A and B are shown apart, each in its own frame.
Chain A
Amino acid sequence: MQRFDAIVIGGGLVGSAIAYGLARAGLRPALIDEGDVAFRASRGNFGLVWVQSKGLGAPHYQRWTRLSSEEWPALAAELAERTGISVGHERPGGVHLCLSEAEFAERQARMEQMRQEAGNFGFEYRMLGADELRGMLPGLGPAVVGASWTRYDGHANSLYLLHALHKGFVARGGTYIPNRTVDYAAAQPNDFRLGSGAAEISAPKIVLAAGLGNAKLAPLFGLSAPVRPQRGQILVTERAGRMFEMPTTTVRQTIEGGIMIGDSMEDVGFDTSQRPDVMAAMAERAVKSFPWLAELQVVRAWAALRVMPPDGTPIYDESEKFAGAFTANCHSGVTLAGAHANAFAPMVAAGALAPDMVPFSAKRFDVPQAA
């Protein structure tokens, strides 16, 4: 039996960021990773570090996302220094394009509600008309009516981020255990044992960050993680000279020059296949926004599964039955990497979640049934 200070289950962006933060806090953590056979949302995501649309009706989520966006520059700089990997992070602000007056009005109402819910914390946004937007983005199509803008938004290369977190984790003394699933688990307060193949490991702390796998793992530790898959599809064009100075919600240019189009949310279960009708609809809306995109060749396309809590807001919890067991569930492994490494991991290291994390508990789904 190998003993560690903490075990993190799940080597995607959520688990890696938490494990990295634990190692940096001086713990000796183990990171168990199913490997590239996993659904691995971290390999398929769009790469936004996105704030402006997160947390409608859930201001704690807006604050958490903002915190992460503000931690991101320090995390990116630290990873570059420690690992030599530049994760391509930029935070120039971002826009959400509206292609009709109705979309614009709906967006404006949403942004204003976000501002009011933010209270003293503040939420700075602007609704931009088409004329002003034309000075910020290249070759907008006549269909674009306007956009919402905040200065909090940005983007990064999520594959480099995953690589850098893994490398940084190991460099800080973490033990990476790849190509393993959890065969059995035994939970006692501050005493967790996992079996995986012939190996058995134990630790007084455990963090469940296994994405969609958390739904089955959580009950073993007195926790609940009712996450479901939501499919998203992405198209990537050939590399072009730098066209965009900022990302949009559904079209962004990577630092290498490829232009990504991602604009689908599909409830299709555990199905990662691609659908031409969805891809066509995505391309059509992108070309309406930026007609010149039609000239570019699409060179890659894929589908992946988001890890979606029932209300879209992340679930963070600690077990009441088994102290020392934590869970983290969200569909924003890139955006929230700053918060996971720099805020969530220190809480786990300290042994308890901060009081302001209470609204993220899965207890919010325990609504008594009406008689």
Chain B
Amino acid sequence: MFRKRPDSAAPTVPVSVEGRDIRVPAGASAAAAMLLAGFAAIRETGVTGTPRGPYCLVGVCFDCFAEINGIPNRQSCMVRVAPGMAIRRQHGRRAVEVNDA
């Protein structure tokens, strides 16, 4: 669905999307990396489980939640890719680890 702009000659960085290694333009957002990897719906909502994908891409709509380097519910459109970044889909509400003292 999404293609890189033809004039895009930026250097690329390697990231992993859902465990698959791809190269994306330096400076791109993690949301863009997921779109380039072919995902439209990247998360399911926490209340109804509805599939959703990045929409506004400017940090407003909260529909681009993803797990980035192990941290859930990141607004992936607001996170710039870095070499080796691991990006995964967000499935519903996040889990919380509780260590009872």
Contacts and interface: CB of A to CB of B under 8 A. Distances in A.
The secondary-structure label for the interface of chain A is: loop
B62 interface: yes
B99 A257 contact: no
A238 B94 CA distance: 8
A368 B95 CA distance: 60
A1 interface: no
Interface string B32-75: 00000000000000110000000000000010000000001100
A239 B62 contact: no
A141 B100 CA distance: 8
B100 to A, nearest CB: 6
A257 B47 CA distance: 8
B76 to A, nearest CB: 13
Contacts of A243: 96, 98
Interface stretch (A147-155, A177-185, A292-300): A292-300
B62 A299 contact: yes
Interface residues of B, number: 14
Contacts of B98: 138-139, 243, 292
Given A257-B46, A299-B62, A292 B94 contact: no
A239 B62 CA distance: 12
Given A256-B47, A257-B47, A299-B62, A241 B73 contact: no
B80 interface: no
Contacts of A239: 46-47, 73, 93-94
B97 interface: yes
Contacts of A297: 73
B46 A296 contact: no
Given A239-B46, A297-B73, A292 B97 contact: yes
Contact of A240 (B47, B62, B96): B96
A310 interface: no
A295 B72 CA distance: 10
A141 B62 CA distance: 31
A296 B96 CA distance: 8
A134 B47 CA distance: 27
Contacts of A257: 46-47, 93
Nearest to B46: A239
Contacts of B72: 238
Given A243-B96, A292-B97, 5 more contacts: A138-B98, A239-B73, A240-B95, A292-B99, A295-B97
Interface of A: 134, 138-142, 238-241, 243, 256-257, 292, 295-297, 299
Interface of B: 46-47, 62, 72-73, 93-101
5 contacts: A134-B100, A139-B99, A139-B101, A240-B94, A292-B99
| 4 closest A-B pairs by CB | A139-B98, A239-B46, A238-B73, A257-B93
